[in-house]
Amino acid sequence: MLSQLAGHVSDTTPGRGALRTARSWLHSDAPSLSLNGNWRFRLSPTARAAEDFADEGFDDSGWDSIPVPSHWVLQGDGVYGRPIYTNIQFPFPIDPPHVPDENPTGDYRRHFEVPADWSEAERVVLRFDGVESLFRLWVNGDEIGSASGSRLAHEFDVTSSVRPGDNVVAVRVHQWSAASYVEDQDQWWLPGIFRDITLIARPAGGIEDVWLRTGFEEGHGRIETEVTADAAAFPVTLRLPELGIEQVWATAADVAPLDVESVEPWSAEQPRLYEVTVSTAAECVALRTGFRTVEIRGGQFLVNGRRVVFHGVNRHETHPERGRVFDEEHAREDLARMKRFNVNAIRTSHYPPHPRLLDLADELGFWVVLECDLEAHGFDKLDWVGNPSDDPAWREAYLDRIQRTVERDKNHPSIVIWSLGNEAGTGSNLAAMSAWVHARDTGRPVHYEGDHAGEYTDIYSRMYPSVLETERIATEGSRSPLLNCTPAQAARQRTKPFLLCEYAHAMGNGPGALDQYEALAHAHPRLHGGFVWEWRDHGILTTTPDGTPYYAYGGDFGEVVHDGNFVMDGMLLSDDVPTPSLHEYKAVVQPLRFTFDGGDVAIVNLRHSADTSDLRFRWRVEHDGTLVESGDLEVPVLAAGESARVPLPRIPVSQDSETWLTLDAVLAAGTAWAREGHVIATAQLDRSTRRPAPGVRPRTTWRQCDGTLTLGIAEFLDGSLVRLAGRAVTGPRLELFRAPTDNDEAASEGVEESDAGIAGVSNAELWRRDGLDRLTTRRVSVERTADALRTIDKVSAANSALSVMVESLWSLEGDELDLRVEIQPSSGWLTVWPRIGIRLDLPDGAAPVDGAEWFGLGPLESYPDSLRAARTGRFTSTVRDLCVDYARPQETGHRSQLRELTLTSAGTKLLRVVAFPDTHGRRPGFTLSRHTPQQIARAGHPFELPDSTTSHLIIDAAQHGLGSRACGPDVWPDFALRPESRTIRLRIAAG
């Protein structure tokens, strides 16, 4: 029998019993006791296990022990079940509000000591900061209550059940409950008590809650204080020692706004915090407040009167070993890393984070969109029939969720927008949440993307619109349609500030086009930038049966339904390694714009409000990537929005090498998140004199031959290269395939004129259909002269009449080996191509190719629609480090605009390849890898890549762009590679 208070798993109400209303998560001097630590634990396969465990005298000596906080599926190496990853799908039958009887249920027990002096406390409260998904609580055998709302704080009054000395607390946690239907976020399902449990003594005359609402206008600050305390608790004193404020309010009726002179404002760029205490005789609460005013005016989102451009990321709480268990040190480092990469905003997708995260955001400086714990995405499959968002049975739960969200975190200056949740369709419960927020907090706007028609929210928000659509939102008139809007609704939406709450899906290698979105935000005042999806991969560290560690994604734990590697879509890999996309992002959103003009550079400060007095400017000149001169550039301090023209230094221009000037803006002093000298923004200027590529002597006396000959360092057998500088090689052969990226693997939606694809089909599928991954060659002719060899090959795939003619011309020019490859597709190729390249295989032999030095774009990989982080220079890398360990192996490592490449073995130079631009000035790129594209394409995880005994060099005349089709638009047409004729020109010499 379920007891009367039972938080039944099918109950849509948010909780029962002695559950208390929400309040701020305060730093108070009232006594408290952490109940974190080891608890006794038992896992049952169903929700119906006996409840006698809650009895005081129950013998739990046979139980296991588990740490609190933790997720039971991440403890004990599988003995308590495994994580499940789904994005939109529900991992249980869609039978709302019911969940299956097979419902893993964790029972927790522990003893705790209540100090003797707590008997003076007026009340004793037990607070849970996060339990997934529904829990019930007993203290000393008394049933106290139940609660759901996994990422929300719940407090219970346990005064009448606790006693000084030994006590027993028992908690039952169900993995599945009605609440699971509204907690369908795109992440791992991770049950358990995963945040802190604290026992709190509430003193008589204490401060139940306090809210400091601040404002800032032209040097003046304002504090409106809301104190929740008994009348007997007064007088209440507010102290702000730094500004000499000590305000005593004798009664609640006396509490009045304070005007504060000469304060500095809080912003994400200059997170100026002031320490405040609010106290009564019985309790003192410490807060850090910041002065800022948030408003929407004239269709723009303003803080302190200035427009904000969000360079944001969607941040989930995820850690490869701890899951959603908070680790402050790791979180702080993560946020410092965001700052180092010019990220200025966080959307807490899609639930409130651990409360300490907001303290860190206040302190380090981020604009935060604080989102409620709500997502009902699985109802999409039913066309939103039965959606809790529009069902009165859920209204109380929805309101409870938003109240717990807002009340807990309302004091944080970093929070500038409240968000109702994510992907929960639309409906009256969402509208009710919004109405509640508007009534409670007039100082922050309400966001919810699913309110497409703008019926109850203040910001127009969308996810994954294309560049074209985003531009249309900004530029077109009221009658131009918007998604799911009537003309009148569209007109209304176009009066609001616009936010990309999700864009630039960073799954695997990608996204492209970050710079195009950024340019729109600067061109159109109503566009406010947005939040990349997402900050980091959610891989869970695990091992293969033979003990090889790897980062698991959906399906790796044998889930019945799952969404594969869709959970690996961050700009940071699971092990904290920034991917090239994060570097690209940093470059795209850098807060300074440089425009070179003759002997000057114009510099614009794009920041919200900070000037440039924290920056120094450095310049350097390189000839073919080798430093020749450097110095400091004098730049006047620029206020936000201001610009200046600064004369460039005299640049020594070389006649026989390329001359590049690089400007860096660096931090003049260390900050909480980066060291002195950290680069904030970079620009390059090409001052090279043009030099023609060396010519090739025309040869006329071609005659057929057997193709066995030597040309300088190159030895040929039957017309094929077999040795270069004495080492075995095979190739070059035409390579049109790349291991499909996650974007290449995603089907086209075929909805946009910018999307050239076939609806419902992925590029990868088309490439495989055309056999790009299994090309075969027929040699058409082999001819030679005294010092040259010419071969013509016809390359095509089984069961296809499409082909590519490849003419290779090897010649000795003086004592240099020259190679020119002409690549000409037949007519009839209909799809885009991943690449047009030639591949040379270099077996290890005695001196494996294990490193590269090059002059070209670097240091990281780059693609046609992701080139902004790349700079022209001279770089070195091991072969290993040229490739990124994407969670699912895929195309990686392409370095664009190559001039010169030296292959090395243990530091010894083996081969030198000079690459020339084609007649259009287009330079090839290169990839050097231990695996072929075909091998990479077959591996689902890095550990599935075969052992390698060969290095593979691909020189690409061109690569297809990246796009973000895994969840969003295709490659922009300018960066899509259409089959076309290409020429590759190289000079190859021994190292």
Min CB(83)–ligand IPT separation in Å: 17
- What is the rounded CA–CA span in Å between residue 714 and residue 839? 16
Q: Is 807 a catalytic residue?
A: no
Q: Is 502 a catalytic residue?
A: yes
SS3 of residue 767 by DSSP: helix
Whether 987 contacts 818, CB under 8 Å = yes
Min CB(87)–ligand IPT separation in Å: 5
Return the number of the residue (87 or 741) whose C-beta is nearest ligand IPT: 87
Return the number of the residue (556 or 569) whose C-beta is nearest ligand IPT: 569
**816: how many CB neighbours lie within 10 A of its CB?**
14
Whether 411 contacts 287, CB under 8 Å = yes
Looking at 132, 143, 371, 423, which residue is catalytic?
423
Contacts (Cβ under 8 Å, ≥6 apart) of 700? none
Which region, left, alpha or beta, applies to residue 354 given φ > 0 means left and ψ of -120 to 50 means alpha? beta
Dihedral angle of Cα 863, 867, 869, 870, to the nearest 10 degrees: 80
Whether 667 contacts 610, CB under 8 Å = no
Structure tokens at 332: 């702080």
Looking at 502, 715, 853, 861, which residue is catalytic?
502
Min CB(314)–ligand IPT separation in Å: 7
Whether 404 contacts 149, CB under 8 Å = yes
Return the number of the residue (2 or 483) whose C-beta is nearest ligand IPT: 483
**Cα dist from 886 to 275, 537, 612, 891, whole Å:** 44, 10, 37, 9
Q: Which residue is nearest to ligand IPT (CB)?
A: 186
- What is the rounded CA–CA span in Å between residue 835 and residue 981? 12
Min CB(566)–ligand IPT separation in Å: 6
Return the number of the residue (301 or 566) whose C-beta is nearest ligand IPT: 566
Return the number of the residue (149 or 378) whose C-beta is nearest ligand IPT: 378
Min CB(202)–ligand IPT separation in Å: 38
Dihedral (CA of 849, 855, 856, 860) sign: positive
SS3 of residue 489 by DSSP: helix
Strands (E), 272-402: 274-279, 284-289, 294-297, 300-303, 306-307, 310-314, 345-347, 367-371
Min CB(586)–ligand IPT separation in Å: 21
Min CB(88)–ligand IPT separation in Å: 6
- What is the rounded CA–CA span in Å between residue 373 and residue 350? 6
- What is the rounded CA–CA span in Å between residue 255 and residue 247? 9
ω into residue 740 within 30 of 0, thus cis?
A: no
Return the number of the residue (121 or 513) whose C-beta is nearest ligand IPT: 513
Return the number of the residue (464 or 926) whose C-beta is nearest ligand IPT: 464
> How does DSSP assign 693-726, residue by residue?
PPP-------EE----EEETTEEEETTEEEEETT
The position carrying tokens 């020189």 is 955
Would strands 600-605 and 643-647 be described as parallel, antiparallel, or unpaired? antiparallel
Dihedral (CA of 416, 128, 80, 99) sign: negative
Min CB(697)–ligand IPT separation in Å: 56
Half-sphere CA count of 298, side-chain side, radius 13 A: 6
Min CB(967)–ligand IPT separation in Å: 4
Residues in touch with ligand IPT (CB under 6 A): 87, 186, 422-423, 463-464, 502, 505, 533, 566, 569, 967
Structure tokens at 731: 């190739």
Contacts (Cβ under 8 Å, ≥6 apart) of 761? 747, 748
Min CB(414)–ligand IPT separation in Å: 22
Would you please indicate which residues are annotated as catalytic (active-site) residues? 423, 502
